[in-house]
Amino acid sequence: MTLESATREQCFEQLLLGKAVKSAGWLEAIRDEALARARDLKFPSERHDDWRLTDLSALLQHRFRPVDSSASVSLADIEKFLIPGTARLVFVDGSHAPQLSDLTQAGNGVTVSSLVERSGDAQLESNFARHAAYGQDAFAALNTRFFEDGAYIHVAGEATVPIHILNVATRRETPSALYPRVLVVMQANSRATVIEDYAGIGDGTTLTNAVTEVVLGDHSQLQHVRVQREEQSAFHIGHCAVDAAGGSVYTSTALAFGARISRLDLHATQRGEGAEVMLNGLALISGRQIADTHTRIDHAAPRCKSHQLHKCIADGSAHAIFSGKIIVHEGAAGTDAVQSSRNLLLSGKARIDTQPQLEIFNDDVSCKHGATVGQIDADALFFLKSRGLTEARARNLLTHAFAAEIIEKIAVPSLVELLGRTILDESMKGAA
Amino acid sequence: MIKAGSKTLLEVKNLHAAVQVDGAGSVEILKGVDFTIRAGEVHAIMGINGSGKSTLSKVLAGHPDYTVTGGSATFEGSDLFTLEPEARARAGLFLAFQYPVEIPGVSNSALLRLAYNTLQNERGLEELDPLEFDDLLQEKIKVVEMDPRYLSRGVNEGFSGGEKKRNEILQMAVLEPKLAILDETDSGLDIDALRIVASGVNQLLTPDNAVVMVTHYQRLLNYIVPDYVHVMSAGRIVKTGGKELALELEERGYDWLKAA
């Protein structure tokens, strides 16, 4: 056994020693199965095709333990993360924090609660753990085994305000593993905006291993925003599974700004005729950060549409990875798929890998994909300098402009404003 | 207008500059350019394509593709070539680009405010907040008769050729440079756009600033009347005269002036 694989094994063994969570019988069975799957699957090795570009060594050197006490977090501590005009459900280190939540605006026909609180709900039970592939993904299996609580959103009708699920990780003495969980169930013809948000207080060594499941009923519409703005010392592994019924419209905007290493696996399945899936992604990283986004869209029904735009911006010695798979299944006639990967390298040491992949098992389709990797446009840079802007300010502005195309797709103006003011400026401080 | 005793803004002496050309190494484009610009003056630099007139404007603004290989340029007493492009802009030099770039994602008004406030800072003056700046901008866009809707768009994003040139002059109006170099601002303009752009420039002329028009055609000079016309050929100014020289060029072409 090599040193590398020994470290990998030890790190994983420690995760398997997580804290067993008492739950209802139906869930207990799922948890047991998940643990068995996690044991079989093990940590993905560098030989694993979906993980071969992702250098996990910074993560593997830690031994992450379960969180065994609750942190004291006040509203003032999380104020900078709040998004005006939203209903808010807060979790601190994976535990529901009702005192920090504010659901007064959530509206009629909209359930926003903790999973534990809604235990016994038939809709919850029939959808939970049915979509996230914990049988094939070791991290999803670990989450399914060890999650303590999570967010449950059920929408019938139209949600009046965006729903903000804020997951806050705090600084602990020892490296800790957190297992946030989200289930969104959209009834037929319902509409909502959900913001799934990961942030941290203090530079703790945390491993956030999150699983989200989204179920869209016929002709429902969901705007799903995912913001990963964790501390630079944190690790983040996210898994999101989307099941889209006929005529539904799913729009995702997934943003990765924080964490030492972050990974998102986003898998959308178009199960019903005429479903639309729009995936917008942005990774904006610097220093030694690694951000890896793997997406997969399954066109499994006729006349479905998918449109994807993913952007990576890497500065310093950062490494951004994008792998986007689109599978057009037999019988998915009239598929219309467009995928585009646009990348900006800000330094000679930064690296971006992009792998758009199309697999088509059908004739009657229109599929387009393309990828570009570029640098800051020299003419634009000179123009801005000739207007008095410093090199750093000009580069910052052009980077901002490149990112803005994704951020401005978010249909929540207060969040767009917040991100423009905080995250973008923050992540580009190094350039100033 | 030429006035006795007005201040020298720019003095260029024996300027040589080169550009890197793929396969040909360093190629000298400017081969000893001399001219002087004083406050209140309007100059035109004319010449055929390849004579070096656009290179001259880029070298003065500090374009990174060009290397100064000899000579000097003094701008209000300082050595221009020791300054970065942004420092030249802050000192009051402005280049209106021949091919303005499009920058989607940066709104026109945001850029104008950023550039304006950068200069205000440099001059030790108060920065303007977005509302105050908007008032200023509403006045400035009248100079180039621009539709206010172009302010909220990305910089030059989807602008026609004429709109881009107007936008350059709007930037000049906002930044109020001491010396503005207009690089082929007339190219690609129809007669109405040309009239608007020229009228904008004329409104901005004061006894304290100066304009250099780099142009191929005499047409622009009907609207912005120069005090001096310089003819460039093969990297040098080969003849300098008054506005009548431009008319003579229009009639006779450039051949009779070719550098020896």
Cβ pair A304, A216 in contact under 8 A: no
Q: What is the 3-state secondary structure (H, E, C) of A105-148?
A: CCCCCEEEEECCCCCCCHHHHHHCCCCCCCCCCHHHHHHHHHCC
pLDDT tens for chain A, residues 1 to 432: 577 778 888 999 999 998 888 888 899 999 999 999 999 998 887 778 899 999 999 999 999 999 887 888 999 999 999 999 999 999 999 999 999 999 988 888 999 999 999 988 999 999 999 999 999 999 999 999 999 999 999 999 999 999 999 999 998 889 999 999 999 999 999 999 999 999 999 988 999 999 999 999 999 999 999 999 999 999 999 999 999 999 999 999 999 999 999 999 999 999 999 999 999 999 999 999 999 999 999 999 999 999 999 999 999 999 999 999 999 999 999 999 999 999 999 999 999 999 999 999 988 889 999 999 999 999 999 999 999 999 999 998 999 899 999 999 999 999 999 998 776 665 444 433
Q: State the CB neighbour count (10 A cutoff) for residue A39.
A: 14
| CA–CA separation, A62 and A206 (whole Å) | 10
Cβ pair A181, A149 in contact under 8 A: yes
| CA–CA separation, B136 and B125 (whole Å) | 15
Task: Name the interface residues of A facing B (CB cutoff 8 Å).
Answer: 377-380, 382-391, 393-394, 397-398, 400-405
From A46's Cα to the closest Cα of chain B, the distance in A is 38
| CA–CA separation, A53 and B74 (whole Å) | 54
Burial letters for A334-370: b for 16+ Cβ neighbours within 10 Å, e otherwise?
bbebbbbbbbbbbeeebbbebebeeebebeebebeee
Contacts of B119 in chain A (CB under 8 A): 388
Cβ pair A67, A93 in contact under 8 A: yes
**Strand pairing class (A249-256; A276-285):** parallel
Question: Going edge to edge, which strands form the sheet with B210-215?
Answer: B93-96, B179-183, B210-215, B42-46, B228-233, B236-241
CB-based contact B86 A402, cutoff 8 Å: no
| CA–CA separation, A113 and A105 (whole Å) | 13
Helix, strand and coil in chain A, % to nearest 5: 25, 40, 35
Reference A222, options A189, A254, A270, A197; nearest CA is: A189
User: How far are the Cα atoms of A188, A252, A339 from residue A409, in angstroms, in the given order?
Assistant: 24, 9, 16
CB-based contact A386 B89, cutoff 8 Å: yes
| The pLDDT of residue B1 | 63
Reference A317, options A283, A347, A293; nearest CA is: A347
Taking only the tens place, the pLDDT of each residue in B99-157 is 999 999 899 999 999 999 999 998 899 999 989 999 999 999 999 999 999 999 999 99
| CA–CA separation, B195 and A17 (whole Å) | 78
Helix (H, G, I), strand (E, B) or coil at B107: strand
| The pLDDT of residue A431 | 39
**Would you say the ipTM is above 0.90?**
yes
| The pLDDT of residue B256 | 84
pLDDT at position B259 over 60 = no
From B118's Cα to the closest Cα of chain A, the distance in A is 7
| CA–CA separation, A158 and A164 (whole Å) | 15
* Amino acid code (one letter) for B60: L
Reference A306, options A336, A271, A280, A330; nearest CA is: A336
**Nearby residues of B134 by Cβ (< 8 Å), 6 or more positions away:** B109
Question: Using alpha carbons only, how large is chain A's radius of gyration in Å?
Answer: 21
Contacts of A388 in chain B (CB under 8 A): 86, 89-90, 115, 118-119, 122, 175
Cβ pair A252, A282 in contact under 8 A: no
Contacts of B111 in chain A (CB under 8 A): 384, 387, 397
Taking only the tens place, the pLDDT of each residue in B209-249 is 999 999 988 889 999 999 999 999 999 999 999 999 988 88
Mean pLDDT of chain B: 93
**Nearby residues of A352 by Cβ (< 8 Å), 6 or more positions away:** A312, A314, A319, A320, A321, A322, A343, A345, A373
Which single residue is written with the structure tokens 């998102």?
A: A264
Reference B98, options B49, B164, B33; nearest CA is: B164
| The pLDDT of residue B260 | 47
Q: What is the pTM of this model?
A: 0.89
Helix (H, G, I), strand (E, B) or coil at B246: helix
User: How far are the Cα atoms of A67, A242, A279, A327, B119 from residue A361, in angstroms, in the given order?
Assistant: 46, 21, 22, 8, 60
Contacts of A404 in chain B (CB under 8 A): 105-106
| The pLDDT of residue A159 | 94
